[in-house]
C-alpha cells in the first residue's frame, strides 16, 4: 500500500523554518544586529548573510540527511499538495481561486471514481444507460468543465456563478 504524503499546514510551515537548515548561528546573530549597524555596513552585511546561506544550500542539498529533514526527498508530491502549500502564502483572492481549483480537482476525482464504478459493474451500467436522463453527474461534469478559464473580475464572477446556479437548477428540476 502506498503511503499517503503528509499535507503541510500553515502551523507546520511556521514551526519548520528553512533558516534552521541553511543558516548558522553567526548568520542569525548578524541578521538580528542588522537594524543597528551603521548605514554603510547594512548592505554588505545583508549580502554576506545571503551569500553564506546560498553556500550552505549548495553544500547541504547534496546531503541526503538534510534533504530528508526538510522533506525534500519525497518525489510523490501531488499537485494538490503543491497548491495547498501555495494557498497558504497566496493573497486572499488568489487563495480563493486555488481553493476553487482544488475543489474542481476533487470533483473530477469523484466523477472518475463514479465512472470506474459504473464501468466495473455491467448490470449497473446497462440500467443507467437506459435511464440517461437521471444521470445528473453526466450532465454536470461537461457544464463544470466548460467554465471560463480567464481570470474573472468580481462582476463577471458573480454573473458566471448566477449562470451556473441557473443551469444547475434547470438540471435538478427536470
pLDDT digits (tens, 9 = 90+) for 103-126: 998 888 888 888 888 788 777 656
Q: What HEC string does 57-89 produce?
A: HHHHCCCHHHHHHHCCCCCCCCHHHHHHHHHHH
Instruction: Show me where the domains of the chain are located.
Output: 10-70, 98-173
Alpha-carbon distances, residue 84 vs 8, 88, 99 (angstroms): 8, 7, 8
Of 30 and 63, the structure prediction assigns the larger pLDDT to 30
How would residue 148 be classed by pLDDT, with cut points 50, 70 and 90? Answer: very low
> Would you say residue 129 has pLDDT above 60?
no
Q: How far is CA 90 from CA 17, 29, 146, 149, 157, in A?
A: 18, 30, 26, 19, 19
How far apart are alpha carbons 20 and 17 in whole angstroms?
A: 6
pTM greater than 0.75 (yes/no)? no
Amino acid at each position: 500500500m502506498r503511503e499517503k504524503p503528509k499535507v503541510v499546514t500553515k502551523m507546520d510551515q511556521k514551526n519548520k523554518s528553512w533558516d534552521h537548515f541553511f543558516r548558522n548561528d553567526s548568520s542569525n546573530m548578524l541578521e538580528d544586529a542588522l537594524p543597528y549597524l551603521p548605514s554603510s555596513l547594512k548592505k554588505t552585511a545583508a549580502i554576506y548573510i545571503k551569500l553564506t546561506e546560498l553556500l550552505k544550500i549548495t553544500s547541504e542539498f547534496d546531503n541526503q540527511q538534510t534533504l530528508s529533514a526538510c522533506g525534500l526527498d519525497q518525489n510523490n508530491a501531488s499537485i494538490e499538495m503543491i497548491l495547498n502549500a501555495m494557498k497558504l502564502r497566496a493573497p486572499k483572492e488568489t487563495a480563493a481561486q486555488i481553493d476553487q481549483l482544488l475543489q474542481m480537482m476533487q470533483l473530477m476525482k469523484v466523477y472518475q471514481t463514479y465512472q470506474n464504478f459504473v464501468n466495473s459493474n455491467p448490470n449497473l451500467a446497462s440500467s443507467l444507460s437506459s435511464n440517461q436522463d437521471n444521470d445528473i453527474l453526466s450532465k454536470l461534469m461537461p457544464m463544470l468543465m466548460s467554465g471560463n478559464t480567464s481570470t474573472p473580475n468580481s462582476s463577471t464572477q458573480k454573473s458566471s456563478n448566477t449562470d451556473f446556479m441557473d443551469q444547475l437548477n434547470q438540471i435538478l428540476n427536470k
